[in-house]
Amino acid sequence: MRVLVIEDDEELAETVAAGLRQARMAVDVAVDGEAGLARALVHDYDVVVLDRDLPGVHGDEVCARLVAAGGRSRVLMLTGAAENEDLVDGLGLGADDYLTKPFAFAVLLARITALARRAQPSIPPVLEHGDLVLDTARRRAQRAGRPLALRPKEFGVLELLLAAEGRVVSAEELLERVWDEHADPFTHTVKITISRLRAKLGDPPVIQTVAKAGYRI
């Protein structure tokens, strides 16, 4: 899952980003509306966490332009205001959900997770292929009853491959969906992660390399 946090309070933005990364999400951060909008229009985010009162380009305008662009990203708007008219205004602009500050991180995480399910084709809470089982809700994986200690990127790659149900997934798509904007597209990071994942999955192999196309289960 890939998330963009647009928040001008840098300390809050980095705290939220750190917590989301611990929850195995790829997270980018922008501290003003202009930078956030630029990132959101270029990258395929599942969820955009958007502060309403932003410098430069106001959060309302960012939200309106994202909706007008017709992307699949879901918008969770943050605000310090708790008045009903603010809630109505935010949702009227096209925001998918609304959260007032201060908020509990657990609530924010639950809202983001729920929105991400709506941002992409429905993925079952448990993905299976033979003796391989991936519990996407509890973030657990096992094969033949043996727990697999997967790193966040390994888990994300395996989740995308299983959800694709045999479709070939390109390295570019994996990089876009599992890594953040700091990933170098010219490195072998996807290939290395696939190699580590194969070693942890063991035999018989379940991930196939399709020459000049990508990978599939």
- Residues 186 and 107 occupy one common structural domain: no
Task: Assign 14 a pLDDT band (cuts: 50, 70, 90).
Answer: very high
Query: Which pLDDT value is given to residue 91?
Result: 64
User: Quick one: which of 193, 190, 197 has its CA closest to 214?
Assistant: 190
- Residues 66 and 154 occupy one common structural domain: no
Question: Whole domain around residue 17: which residue ranges?
Answer: 2-119
Report the CATH number at residue 149: 1.10.10.10
Task: Assign 182 a pLDDT band (cuts: 50, 70, 90).
Answer: low
- Residues 137 and 112 occupy one common structural domain: no
- Residues 114 and 17 occupy one common structural domain: yes
- Residues 147 and 83 occupy one common structural domain: no
pLDDT at residue 82 tops 80:
no
Report the CATH number at residue 99: 3.40.50.2300
| Per-range mean pLDDT, top range of 23-27, 66-70, 151-155 | 151-155
- Residues 98 and 131 occupy one common structural domain: no
- Residues 10 and 101 occupy one common structural domain: yes
Query: Which pLDDT value is given to residue 26?
Result: 86
- Residues 53 and 87 occupy one common structural domain: yes
pLDDT at residue 7 tops 80:
yes
**Of 119, 150, 185, which residue sits at a domain end?**
119
Q: Note the pTM of the prediction, 2 decimals.
A: 0.65
Among 7-21, 55-69, 75-89, the minimum mean pLDDT is found in 75-89
Query: Which pLDDT value is given to residue 109?
Result: 92
Render pLDDT for 98-148 as a digit per residue (tens, 0 to 9): 888 889 999 999 999 888 877 665 566 789 999 999 998 788 899 999 999
- Rounded mean pLDDT of 195-206? 94
- Residues 115 and 132 occupy one common structural domain: no
- Residues 73 and 174 occupy one common structural domain: no
- Residues 8 and 106 occupy one common structural domain: yes
Render pLDDT for 60-71 as a digit per residue (tens, 0 to 9): 999 989 888 887
- Residues 8 and 109 occupy one common structural domain: yes
User: Quick one: which of 10, 31, 33, 29 has its CA closest to 20?
Assistant: 29
**Of 119, 141, 157, which residue sits at a domain end?**
119
Query: Which pLDDT value is given to residue 172?
Result: 85
The structural domain count of the chain equals 2
